[in-house]
Structure 1
């Protein structure tokens, strides 16, 4: 029986494995992808300081540490079930069963679909798929495309596509429907847009980031939002325009764009066709929690963290003995936060009490210094989960 099986070889899983191996625990890391690194492999962006965050180089650094400690990492291994046994767990995979005293779930996040008429055509993909194809597999997704959905994720990946030489016409909102409602409302989108304004050389957005905390200022900004959009890295970002249809017979040929009122309603007669050969849909991220559900871990829905998350405490422990979580399964944040959480989880598994407090402070410091946040009020969301943990463990 192993000391710990870590499911997920992204920044959280690899960091946790390193911390566990430093205490000489018997560790197995598994991941369904052909190589370790997780979402890190597709990340490449410039931070406000001017420094570049290169996910491939960050992965290499983590792997070098893990390999130096003789960490066992197995890729192309899919886990489909967890079973509780006396003194531990059985991890069910396509490569057989693994018995372990502890399990760390570092499964990350998945993308939310945003359905639009025509979205099943070849050439339509999620924004995350475009990132992986471009930065990991070095496959050009198309010559000229448009991004549907304006949020932190789409803005970051749009820049990565530009750096790879992929042409982008613009970013616009999806047409409003029951699924896309919040992503299609200009006012709600503006709230998120001002949180990434410091990343772009736009006076309009910089103004918004400083003053648009007040609702009346946001409403004013939406009302007078330029018809031509606000340019970020030379690409127009529209929050008063929406994509109502993706057109084509055998593949994407164009999209139909229309103007919106400040409330997000389509203005009849403003439809316009734009020729593109690919479309990226950005519906946001949610924690990938199926394995936690399978084993019976209790959950709480926390909007600030991106959806349902396993209940856990500050040490990354769940109410189930021997089950730990780290990374985006606990809430949608940056790879830097996930890496710090993994380190903390590793110390918790190894019972390295002298390092746990320092690691907890490191997670908080990295969170506070984050360049961008996927959701507002992250700290409030974390506190909700921690309160739920203590109420569950000590009624």
Structure 2
């Protein structure tokens, strides 16, 4: 039988939310263990080379990988934080034990509180030949280029004009890859106009109300047929275009990675505005399973800035529930909630605000 590791707060996921939670909880005096399935913590921040917006509190002006390094340093320099890399959480059980696999061993952990910060996975879309070599998710392309220094191809069709699609398109161009076009099924660009403007100034067309009909090629992608959509989102015959590309990159959204929340029997609810099934939780981010908190994209897909603030709030809340911080913790909770409200106050945050309102609506039945 493997030895059981006892810890005050266990955090599953070492991305922006998980690292922020760890630092916040440890600063209040709690002992923290972070499980990270990759070889290095940081999550999506590791491969983000663009500068962040917002305020200094959300690291405005710093690039994603720089923010990741700052959060890693904060945790590494705090004796209250332990980080296990190359370790994957397997399950959260009725007796409070969490199992994991790491370094070829089966591990058992008994935390007093648990924070799930597992992030999100990329969505795919269906079209003929969507399994051909040369078709990637945008996150995979970022990892290839910004972590491993490998370009995916020579000429790319980007599907999706949200922030991820726009940012990765610009990073492809910076790496010397031609972007043939960005297509977006919606009638308007979903990302920030500052990102779209950079793309357009470089001569790349952004085609709204367009979709992909099919990919084609012999052994890998050689091209794609795209077409225009009508107001009912149906293809308009005769509007097809043939784009010669060797890469098709999908930036069509993310889905919260909530398998552990389902397995832990948290009460869940499908909320489209939050990108899928998410756990019901209190203002302090505690789920319907007492002592289990969520933070970041697992609680509803947003920007990394919001994930870091949610992580901080979950870390403070978990530590406060163990008796750390007292009045100081209550004040920090209020500050984090105010910061989240401010982040979500603009047009880009309205979808999240609507989603949270639906989530909290007692009238609607949960799944």
TM class by shorter chain equals 0.7 to 0.9
Give me the whole-angstrom Cα distance separating, in 2, the residues matched to 1:370 and 1:136.
30
| Distance of aligned partners of 1:232 and 1:369 in 2 relative to their CA distance in 1, 3 Å threshold | farther
The yes-or-no answer on 1:63 pairing with 2:37 is no
CA contact (8 A) 1:247 1:254 kept: yes
Corresponding residue number in structure 2 for 1:77: 87
The yes-or-no answer on 1:123 pairing with 2:134 is yes
Give me the whole-angstrom Cα distance separating, in 1, the residues matched to 2:200 and 2:183.
12
SS in 2 for 1:231: helix
| Distance of aligned partners of 1:375 and 1:335 in 2 relative to their CA distance in 1, 3 Å threshold | same
Pick the aligned partner of 1:92 from 96, 100, 110. 100
CA contact (8 A) 2:187 2:209 kept: no
Corresponding residue number in structure 1 for 2:125: 114
CA contact (8 A) 2:136 2:250 kept: yes
Corresponding residue number in structure 1 for 2:38: 33
Corresponding residue number in structure 1 for 2:29: 24
**CA-atom RMSD in angstroms:** 2.7
Give me the whole-angstrom Cα distance separating, in 2, the residues matched to 1:243 and 1:38.
30
Pick the aligned partner of 1:355 from 329, 333, 336. 329
CA contact (8 A) 1:89 1:101 kept: no
The yes-or-no answer on 1:201 pairing with 2:197 is yes
Corresponding residue number in structure 2 for 1:142: 153
Corresponding residue number in structure 1 for 2:48: 43
| Distance of aligned partners of 1:381 and 1:131 in 2 relative to their CA distance in 1, 3 Å threshold | same
Corresponding residue number in structure 2 for 1:284: 253
| Per-residue deviation, 1:49 | 8.3
Deviation track 1:289-331 (CA, whole Å, cap 9, x = no partner) reads 0001001010122222112111111111112121111111111
| Per-residue deviation, 1:16 | 1.0
CA contact (8 A) 1:336 1:366 kept: no
Pick the aligned partner of 1:190 from 174, 187, 197. 187
SS in 2 for 1:119: coil
SS in 2 for 1:379: helix
CA contact (8 A) 2:267 2:279 kept: yes
CA contact (8 A) 1:2 1:26 kept: yes
Q: TM-score, normalised by structure 1?
A: 0.80
Deviation track 1:234-285 (CA, whole Å, cap 9, x = no partner) reads 3111124332111111111111223444444333344332211111012211
Corresponding residue number in structure 2 for 1:11: 16
CA contact (8 A) 2:119 2:296 kept: yes
Give me the whole-angstrom Cα distance separating, in 2, the residues matched to 1:274 and 1:312.
46
| Distance of aligned partners of 1:373 and 1:341 in 2 relative to their CA distance in 1, 3 Å threshold | farther
Corresponding residue number in structure 2 for 1:217: none
SS in 1 for 2:87: coil
Consecutive unaligned residues of structure 1, counting only runs of 5 or more, are: 174-183, 203-229
Corresponding residue number in structure 1 for 2:355: 381
Give me the whole-angstrom Cα distance separating, in 2, the residues matched to 1:324 and 1:93.
21
CA contact (8 A) 1:147 1:281 kept: yes
Q: TM-score, normalised by structure 2?
A: 0.85
| Per-residue deviation, 1:373 | 7.1
SS in 2 for 1:235: coil
Corresponding residue number in structure 1 for 2:304: 335
The yes-or-no answer on 1:322 pairing with 2:291 is yes
Aligned residues: 347
Give me the whole-angstrom Cα distance separating, in 1, the residues matched to 2:345 and 2:21.
23
| Distance of aligned partners of 1:232 and 1:292 in 2 relative to their CA distance in 1, 3 Å threshold | farther
Give me the whole-angstrom Cα distance separating, in 2, the residues matched to 1:234 and 1:363.
41
